[in-house]
């Protein structure tokens, strides 16, 4: 199966300042997004996320490297026929209503009139704008404009959604609505590629994630690998007798994370699980929980960005070359 998105050493530089010095906005990006997956893109402002998306949408040309959509060069208009796009700051003719806007966009895409009418009604309901269908867009809040942009991106039932900061300007209910739409679209076999600053959304919605730092690709991998890297440590919670003390016995060398009454949680290595379990039982205790030590994407991102001190537990499972 052809990948939905592929890039090879994709790079973009700009000339800035009086001396027109070359500044790299993106350097040697290699990613592959499979059909049917949700791929998240993380990076600080200026990291290269929007630059990547604009290249994929043919809005700017790369300085070097190549990009493909469903196996076709991204620069070719035909490659974008199966793509729905939401820009970072969507702007529409504000004298139009949502119904008028979607009719206009449908006509530009040469959709049949019946399909335009059906999709308009369906999508405005999907993004909770049915009651505002005949209001002028100039009176909309930022969140309403954002939701209208999502409806516009979905108008022609695309196979691939490319969304630049789709959660921007949304309140918690709006974020929940968009997250539900993304999940439903994936269930329909659609591919979603989106950038965001809201890292928890990546953790809950995405199959894989890419992290950019100052235009450089620092990580590409599955969410599972990112949150539970190979060789990660474990957290064990035990219930021990009243007279037991943490400095006693088999758990003495291990880091105590917290305790409350008879419950104790330690950080341990995987190789110590068997001996610790035997020692706990021998001390008339019991194991309450045992789970891999989880790190957040925020921790990984901060490590890669150089904003926190890396530890031995925070090694990457599949670092980008």
Pairing of strands 64-69, 72-73: antiparallel
Across the chain, how many H-helices and E-strands are there?
Answer: 9, 14
Residue/partner pairs of 251-254 with CB below 8 Å, 24 or more apart = 251/276, 251/279, 251/280
Q: What does the block give as tokens for 214?
A: 């100052």
What's the pLDDT band for 34 if we cut at 50, 70, 90? very high
Q: Which of 28, 66, 24, 68 is nearest to 47 (CA)?
A: 24
Sign of CA dihedral 293, 298, 301, 302: negative
- pLDDT for position 232: 67
Q: What does the block give as tokens for 200?
A: 């928890």
Report the C-alpha gap between 277 and 257 in whole angstroms: 18
Hey, how many other C-beta atoms are within 10 angstroms of the C-beta on 164?
Answer: 23
- pLDDT for position 301: 83
Residue 176 CA from chain centroid, whole number? 15
Alpha-carbon torsion, ordered 274, 280, 286, 290, to 10 deg: -40
Q: What does the block give as tokens for 318?
A: 């599949």
Query: pLDDT tens digits for 133-186?
Result: 999 999 999 999 999 999 999 999 999 999 999 998 889 999 999 999 999 999
Report the C-alpha gap between 233 and 270 in whole angstroms: 6
Name the average pLDDT for the chain: 89
Do residues 156 and 123 make contact, with C-beta atoms less than 8 angstroms apart? Answer: no
Report the C-alpha gap between 216 and 25 in whole angstroms: 9
Report the C-alpha gap between 120 and 103 in whole angstroms: 7
Query: pLDDT tens digits for 203-240?
Result: 889 999 999 998 999 999 888 888 877 666 888 999 99
- pLDDT for position 250: 86
- pLDDT for position 296: 77
Report the C-alpha gap between 230 and 318 in whole angstroms: 9
Hey, how many other C-beta atoms are within 10 angstroms of the C-beta on 52?
Answer: 30
Query: pLDDT tens digits for 49-88?
Result: 999 999 999 999 999 999 999 999 999 999 999 999 999 9
Q: Decide: helix, strand or coil at residue 33.
A: strand
**pTM of the complete model:** 0.79
Residue 251 CA from chain centroid, whole number? 38
Report the C-alpha gap between 92 and 219 in whole angstroms: 35
Buried b (16+ CB within 10 A) or exposed e, 269-292: eeebeeebbebbeebebeeeeeee
What residue spans of the chain are helical by DSSP H? Answer: 49-56, 98-108, 113-126, 142-153, 172-187, 199-205, 223-227, 273-282, 297-305
């Amino acid at each position: 199966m052809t990948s939905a998105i592929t890039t090879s050493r994709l790079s973009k530089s700009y000339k800035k300042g009086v001396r027109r010095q070359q500044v790299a906005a993106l350097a040697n990006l290699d990613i592959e997004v499979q059909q049917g997956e949700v791929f998240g893109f993380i990076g600080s402002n200026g990291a290269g996320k929007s630059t990547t998306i604009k290249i994929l949408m043919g809005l700017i040309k790369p300085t070097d490297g190549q990009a493909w959509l469903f196996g076709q060069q991204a620069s070719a208009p035909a490659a974008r026929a199966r793509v729905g796009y939401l820009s970072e700051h969507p702007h529409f003719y504000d004298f139009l209503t949502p119904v008028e806007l979607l009719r206009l966009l449908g006509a530009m895409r040469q959709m049949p009139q019946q399909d335009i009418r059906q999709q308009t009604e369906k999508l405005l309901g999907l993004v909770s704008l049915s009651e505002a269908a005949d209001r002028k867009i100039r009176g909309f809040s930022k969140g309403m404009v954002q939701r209208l942009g999502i409806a516009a991106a979905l108008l022609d039932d695309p196979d691939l959604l490319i969304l630049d900061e789709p959660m921007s300007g949304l309140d918690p209910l709006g974020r929940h609505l968009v997250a539900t739409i993304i999940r439903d679209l994936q269930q329909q076999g659609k591919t979603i590629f989106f950038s965001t600053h809201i890292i928890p959304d990546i953790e809950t919605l995405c199959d894989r994630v890419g992290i950019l730092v100052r235009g450089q690709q620092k990580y590409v991998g599955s969410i599972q690998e990112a949150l539970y890297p190979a060789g990660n440590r474990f957290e064990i919670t035990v219930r021990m007798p009243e007279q037991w003390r943490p400095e006693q016995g088999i758990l003495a060398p291990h880091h105590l994370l917290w305790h409350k009454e008879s419950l104790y949680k330690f950080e341990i290595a995987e190789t110590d699980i068997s001996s610790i379990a035997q020692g706990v039982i021998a001390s008339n205790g019991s194991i309450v929980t045992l789970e891999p030590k989880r790190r957040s994407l925020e921790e990984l991102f901060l490590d890669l960005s150089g904003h926190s001190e890396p530890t031995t537990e925070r090694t990457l499972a599949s670092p980008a070359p």
